[in-house]
Structure 1
Amino acid sequence: MSSPKKKKNVQSLNEKLVALTRFLSKAAERSLPFFSTLKNCAKRSHFKWTKEAEKAFQEMKALLKNFPTLTSPIAGETLILYLAIAREAFSSVLIAERDGVQTPIYFVSKAPTGSELNYRPIEKFVYALVLLRRLRRYFQAHPIVIQKKVTPSAPELWELYTDGASVPEGAEYEALLAGVRLAKKIGVKKIQAYKVLVEQIFKKSIEPSQLTAVIDEAEHCWMTNIIEFLKMGSLPENDKEAKKIRVKAPMYDLHDDVLYRKSYLGLTFRCVGPKQAEKIIVKVHAGACALHSSFRTVAEKIKRLGYYWLGMYNDAAEKIRVCQECQLHAPISKAPRHQMIPITPPWPFCKWAIDIVGAFPSGSKSADYLVVDIDFFTKWVEAKSLNKITSKKVGDFF
């Protein structure tokens, strides 16, 4: 396989390497030189194949020639998980050791982007473990031994600030030395110290707010049976209700006597009772900076705030329906309340419409008015001019 010469060739190469990620060790770290050639390459003429990319390409070819053989784990076998953390990539491999020989099972690799580049080492290890959610079936069926490795990089610059405004003379130097000792203890290699003058304020400018009482829910609500089952394993006497609780319980978690609802994305929502739900709906719908949105928007916003209860949409709709501000400022509908039903005549000349038009300017015959008659069925029109409107003349018209 020859080296890529065009931007399209590099894009095709990256797509193929992504498909082989789980079979290659440190695939993301090895592919970084290829991605760097695509940066600032909006036009074909801007493409440039660098020496680093060529070196990485040759190393990738050598790796593919000696492609590692993956194995499947044996039931109950202890597996080893290696985590390699570098600034450019997070890599991990799940290994089975048999007769002193380590054989890979699964490779996982990812290049950090955005704020992930600024993670501390411990945060990078935690994030690397989060990326291993696809290996959940291995973690549930086998004991795992984790081995970690940090790739050394350039020493990071730390900043140390000391305050010498409100301490006796010379004490700020003791604080500086204490900060240096602490930095040395945690392994800091480069440090820059600053002295900050801070004015000490003895009088509080803001009074502490009083804590409002927690809303007491009713003794029995929709959470009671689920909490009792998760806490004590008790179920209702009704078999149908007991079956419902067994089915719903895995979707909830109890922590410090507070019930949480699990979501499909791994997030948890705090469960609340009817009284708390009513206050939450009012705050979100008509509180500070509220928009008096529809019940669907209010329910979705409550979910984003981290709350959940059964019948969220119905409760929000009922509460918003009686909102006084929404009724005052709602658009007025001019449509009829009921559907209009036309009344059609059954046969010609069964129903007539009569109208009198006038008075018009006087003519030669002094006819100032006009009597018009229309048949509803055939739309037949009859008209006659009159100089005076009387019952006799109108009767003569018919």
Structure 2
Amino acid sequence: MRLNPLKCSFGLTSGKFLGFLVSQRGIEADPSQIKAISEMKDPSTIKEVQRLTGCIAALRRFIPQASKKCSPFFKVIKEASKNKKLIWDDQCKESFEALKIFLTSPPVLARALPRETLKVYISASDGSVASVLVKDVEGHEAPVYYISHTLKDAETRYPHVEKLIYALVIASRKLRHYFQDEYEALLAGLRLAIELEVKILEIFGDSQLVAKQLQGEFKAHDARMSTYLKLAMSLLEKVQSWTIKNICREDNQWADALSKLASSVVETSEAIYVEERKVPSIDLGPPFPDMLRFNEISSMADWRQPFLEYILQNKLPQDKKEARSISYKAKNYCVLENKLYRRGLKEPLLRCLGSEDSHMSMVEVHTGICGDHLGGKNLAL
């Protein structure tokens, strides 16, 4: 791997990263993305409304209850697809102007630190559910991540309590990377206790979920959680007797002391050994279940191959019509390190993907690895 000096910057106090401004203050929205919306006129066509929802999607992380704010736009797109006519009514105008006013001073998102206490607030309305992840900063709560979801037809008929539960489910999926697995610390402690031949074991933990599952009061419905529970119970069978007690996080002084010890240099009279675990205790399987399915059909023809052969070897297909098409379209492509890229007018070179790579990329995007998006309604047409 080689670095391009022209694209490298060092010692910066702030800068753009993945479309965001990152600094000591926190994570901020890109001003160019905000400017695109603030300078936008009222849409007059369906395509312009879809362009508006696309711009909002890029800033969705910074907009609380984004789905609720955009619900008039979704309604317009849905009606326009049936009537073949766009009606930009007063409700759309009010929502659009309110969105512009909000974006004049968008919130600065805080950065979550390891082992930091975070809170999730959830809300539900008739047509959407939303949540926000916050942290305490000098006595006040600062937002870390906003999540919103537009309810589909059947979901709008959920009772209010079920909508709140649904909001929590969506938040747990989108914010999964912010929370460490609660079983890993328990399993590490159990392995150490067994190695030291401990017979009577007292376990203190600040996770009520883990404590209740070990005591049999809660069931582990999730497959991953169930696997962790089985592994923990198998280790506990090697101990003569054990008890577990749920305590408040503030009272869990032993865990705090160990975490600080592992991340700092402390002078002690006795040797202290710290083990760093870089892989989970259980086999999580493939990152995406759909990969099992597309691996079976990996023999599909690669659309990139004719372009690569023409650019690198000046070789064209035998079919005259296909050869003419390849030679004409190849002007828009280039090859760097045996990889095909498409040229753009203003954007950087775009990496061309095969069927397997594109499938994996789509799965990653729709599972939320790049953040939330507006769902299917903004793609109605």
TM-score (norm. length: structure 1): 0.37
Structure 1 or 2: more helix by fraction: 2
